[in-house]
Amino acid sequence: MITEKKVTLYFVRHGETQYNVEKRMQGFCDSPLTEKGISQAKSVGKGLSDINFKAAYSSDSQRVIDTAKYAIGERDIPLTIDKRLKEMNFGVLEALVEEEIPALYGNVLETLFSLDLDACAPEGETYAQLFARTENAIDEIVKMHASEGGNILIFSHGVTIGNYIVQITKSSEFAVHENCSVSVVRYMNGQPQIEIIADTSFREKGGQCLTNG
């Protein structure tokens, strides 16, 4: 019988993008990292540099892949792309400026940003559907590494990470995940234990190190 070992996932949200700056809805659609976003990715990578990681996984959105590559840098950490780690699909709201949406679709944002599992944008996906694909990917990753254990990087998106944590903790509060913030979840025998949620200290510490040379 194989004994499972502790697997610790470090969830990292992507760096700032052009659409973040413009306050556009950005789910399946994509926009490039800004210079600040690139700096954030390098900073969080530096802040995590004293932790040994066995592997890294990334959403297939280019903003996340780029964040992962900047964060990993020259470290020998294999990176696997998994489309199930993608951001929530915002349907017809994709790429729209948030303040324009009420005039077009009424109170859809108020409904979307509730914790109702069935809430979704028109032609988008629900939180329940988002969680189903995220959980499927995470369960596979944890099982894949359970025989050896260790630390794993997961590069993804704010709503995807936040929704996953809300659902596994049955929380009534959705934490805001800033760009390149880190959440840490430990798994033992398939059971998750939250250690850190939406922490920016890795990014900040890394940024200070890079600035000070």
Six token digits for residue 42: 């390098």
Select from 12, 20, 21, 136 the least CA-distant residue to 66. Answer: 12
- The reply, when asked if residue 13 is annotated as ligand binding, is yes
H/E element, 199? strand 191-199
Burial (CB < 10 A; 0-12, 13-18, 19+), residue 42, is: buried
Can you tell me the distance from the alpha carbon of 9 to that of 118, in angstroms, rounded to the nearest whole number? 27
Residue 52 among known ligand-binding residues: no
From the candidates 4, 35, 87, 173, give the one annotated as an active-site residue.
Answer: 87
Q: Is 18 marked within a binding site? A: yes
How far is the C-alpha of 75 from the C-alpha of 46, rounded, in Å? 11
Annotation says 135 is catalytic: no
14 classed as catalytic: yes
Cα distances (angstroms) measured from residue 171 to each of 115, 175, 180: 9, 10, 22
Is 140 labeled as ligand-binding? no
Residue 63 is labelled as binding a ligand = yes
Q: Is 84 known as a binding-site position? A: no
Please, what is the end-to-end C-alpha distance for the chain in angstroms?
49
Tokens found for residue 61: 């959105």
* Binding-site annotation: residue ranges for substrate: 13-20, 63
Q: Cite the active site residues.
A: 14, 87
* Binding-site annotation: residue ranges: 13-20, 63
